[in-house]
Amino acid sequence: MDYYRRFLDALPDIPSLAAAPEETVLKLWQGLGYYSRARSLQKAARQVMDSYGGIMPGEVSELRKLAGIGDYTAAAIASIAFGRSEPAVDGNLLRIYARADLVKDNIRTPAALRAADAYYRERIPADRPGDFNQALMDLGARICTPAPRRPDCGNCPWKTCCRSYAADPSGDTAVSLPVMPEKKARRRDRLTVLLLYAGDRVLLHRRPARGLLAGLYEFPNLPGDLEEREVLEALRERGMHPVRIRPAGCATHVFTHREWEMKGYEVWLAEGPIPDSLTAVSRDEIENRYPIPSAFSYYVEKIASIVV
């Protein structure tokens, strides 16, 4: 909530979000989730300014035209903010539907998603659609919980119309649903992270404009689990002159589909030119200006404690 308030304090409305520099938006977004969402949010704000006179549209068909807004988000905005009778079918609502209607097929197929939408569209009240969607989200989060937690079927307000409960009040049937596609194994990458000190500055690298953590700043890193000798050789090959090195600890960061296992080194460099791909910044700038992904938060803290 503190991150959210910080973001809204700085960018309280659509015009301010649309006008802000992207780097400022990304820095304010730290701690709030995937950075691609921040980019989409700002792009959508600019679309609203350009195409809708700065006024957020309330119809699903118009909301779907905005960057980053899909079926679920459009329905959530339309129902909660504008009172439209649109079911917001997220993971919670899909799970409730699969159990309530005893759906034993893969719930993630297009046909199943259409069936879930139709199921809720028959039941959503015209006078309180936003409350209906939020109540179901809460029901899924607290009562009709995902496996391996057992759903609290005995206290569920929908148990009288739930086919899974009717077939098996013990909850064994419910806990086996929904049927989901098999998850792919998470990819594991090993990285060697370098905290490079050039005088009273720290060197950062900007990631490519596309792909994972696009456009954000990071500590320079090398693939693999490198030893000190290998790090020093790599730096010299890149035209830098290390004069001191020491371990900076290990950290792990888990993304949705991959995991980074990181080993860090602090390296002090002799005076001289730095590669064009790197940017020399102060510690204050790391804290207040440059957006660095939370994947590197362990090493940001290491930097803060070092006296060069």
Per-residue pLDDT of the chain (308 residues; tens, 9 = 90+): 999 999 999 999 999 999 999 999 999 998 898 888 999 999 999 999 999 999 999 999 999 999 999 999 999 999 999 999 999 999 999 999 999 999 999 999 999 999 999 999 999 999 999 999 999 999 999 999 998 899 999 999 999 999 999 999 998 999 999 999 888 888 999 999 999 999 989 999 999 988 888 889 999 999 999 999 999 999 999 999 999 999 999 999 999 889 999 999 999 999 888 899 999 999 889 888 899 998 999 999 988 666 54
The DSSP 8-state label assigned to residue 106 in this structure reads B
Which CATH superfamily, name and number, covers 187-304?
Nucleoside Triphosphate Pyrophosphohydrolase (3.90.79.10)
Are 261 and 190 a contacting pair, CB within 8 Å?
Answer: yes
pTM equals: 0.79
Q: Report the alpha-carbon distance of residue 196 to residue 9 in Å, rounded.
A: 34
The DSSP 8-state label assigned to residue 108 in this structure reads T
Structure-token pair, residue 294: 């939370």
Q: Is 70 exposed, middle or buried (0-12, 13-18, 19+ CB in 10 A)?
A: exposed
Domain range list for the chain:
85-182, 187-304
Q: Report the alpha-carbon distance of residue 288 to residue 28 in Å, rounded.
A: 9
Q: Which one, of 178, 267, 177, 188, lies nearest residue 223 by Cα?
A: 188
HSE-up of residue 245 (Cα within 13 Å, Cβ side): 16
CATH number, span 85-182: 1.10.1670.10
The DSSP 8-state label assigned to residue 70 in this structure reads -
Are 94 and 178 a contacting pair, CB within 8 Å?
Answer: yes
